[in-house]
Amino acid sequence: MDAADKSRGGEQLSRIMIVDGYPIIRKAIRLKLEAEGHEVVAEADNGLDALALHRDTQPDLVILELSIPKLGGLDVIRRLKMHDKTLKVLVYSSQDTGHFAGRCLQAGAQGFVSKHDDLQELRSAARAVLHGRSYFPREALEVHDPAHAEEDGSEVLHQLSARELTVLQYLAQGFSNQSIAQQLAISFKTVSTYKARLMQKLHASSLVELAEIARRNSLLEGKESAPEPHPEQFQAMEGELQLLRSMIQSMPVQMHVCDGDGRLLFCNQAFCAFIGLSLAEMQGRCVMDLGWLPAADVEGFKARYLRAIERAEPYTIDLELQSHEQRRVLQHWGMPYRGSKGQLLGMICGGLDITERENLLLELSGAKEQAVAANRSKGAFLTAIGREFSAPLNVVGGMLDLAGEDSGLSVRGQEALHIAREANGTLLRLIGDLRDLVSLESGRLMLESEPTDLRALTEQGVERYAAKASKKGLTLTCSVAVAAEVWLDPHRYLQILNNLLSNALKFTDHGGVEVSLQATPCGKAQVEVQLVVSDSGIGIASVELPMLFEPFALPLDMERISRGGSGLGLALCRRLADCMGGSLELESQLGKGTRAGLRLRVPQACAKTR
pLDDT of 541-574, one tens digit each? 888 877 777 765 555 555 555 555 566 778 888 8
**Other CB atoms closer than 10 Å to residue 213's CB: what's the count?**
21
Cα torsion at 200, 206, 212, 217 (round to 10°)? 20
Q: Which CATH fold would you assign to the domain 15-143?
A: Rossmann fold (3.40.50)
**Other CB atoms closer than 10 Å to residue 41's CB: what's the count?**
17
Q: Which CATH fold would you assign to the domain 360-441?
A: Methane Monooxygenase Hydroxylase; Chain G, domain 1 (1.20.58)
* CB contact set of 87 (below 8 Å; sequence gap of 6+): 54, 59, 60, 61, 62, 80, 81
Q: How many CA atoms lie within 13 A of 175 on its CB side?
A: 23
Residues 90, 82: Cα–Cα separation, whole Å: 16
Q: Where in the chain is the domain with CATH 1.10.10.10?
A: 155-217
Q: Where in the chain is the domain with CATH 3.40.50.2300?
A: 15-143
Q: Where in the chain is the domain with CATH 3.30.565.10?
A: 447-603
Predicted local distance difference test score (pLDDT) of residue 224: 39
Q: What is the sign of the dihedral through the CA atoms of 120, 127, 45 and 166?
A: negative
**Residue 22 is inside which H or E element, if any?**
none
In 3D space, the residue among 92, 78, 184, 89 whose CA is nearest the CA of residue 137 turns out to be 92
**Other CB atoms closer than 10 Å to residue 294's CB: what's the count?**
12
Q: For the chain, give the mean pLDDT.
A: 78
pLDDT band of residue 150 (cuts 50, 70, 90) is very low
Predicted local distance difference test score (pLDDT) of residue 56: 92
Q: What is the mean pLDDT of residues 315-331?
A: 79
Q: What is the mean pLDDT of residues 122-147?
A: 74
CATH of domain 232-352: 3.30.450.20
Contact 417, 409 (CB under 8 A): yes
Q: What is the mean pLDDT of residues 373-393?
A: 61
Among the residue ranges 82-91, 188-197, 494-503, the one predicted with the least confidence is 188-197
Contact 246, 42 (CB under 8 A): no
Q: What is the pLDDT of residues 326-340, one digit of tens each?
A: 778 888 888 887 766
Residue 520 has pLDDT above 60, yes or no: yes
In 3D space, the residue among 428, 417, 500, 403 whose CA is nearest the CA of residue 458 turns out to be 500
Reported pTM:
0.38
* CB contact set of 38 (below 8 Å; sequence gap of 6+): 13, 14, 15, 16, 126
Q: What is the mean pLDDT of residues 33-50?
A: 89
Specify the CATH class of 155-217 in words. Answer: mainly alpha
Specify the CATH class of 447-603 in words. Answer: alpha beta
- Please spell the DSSP secondary structure of 335-381, one letter per residue: EEEE-TTS-EEEEEEEEEE-HHHHHHHHH--SHHHHHHHHHHHHHHH
What percent of the chain is predicted at pLDDT more than 90?
A: 18
Q: Where in the chain is the domain with CATH 1.20.58.970?
A: 360-441
The residues facing 15 across adjacent strands are 39
Predicted local distance difference test score (pLDDT) of residue 206: 65
pLDDT band of residue 465 (cuts 50, 70, 90) is very high
In 3D space, the residue among 181, 198, 199 whose CA is nearest the CA of residue 190 turns out to be 181
Residues 468, 283: Cα–Cα separation, whole Å: 40
**Other CB atoms closer than 10 Å to residue 269's CB: what's the count?**
13
Angle at 502 between CA 501 and CA 507, to 5 degrees: 100
- Given the DSSP bridges, would you call strands 39-44 and 15-19 parallel, antiparallel or unpaired? parallel
Contact 133, 176 (CB under 8 A): no
The residues facing 481 across adjacent strands are 518
Higher pLDDT: 102 or 138? It is: 102
Residue 302 has pLDDT above 90, yes or no: no
Predicted local distance difference test score (pLDDT) of residue 389: 64
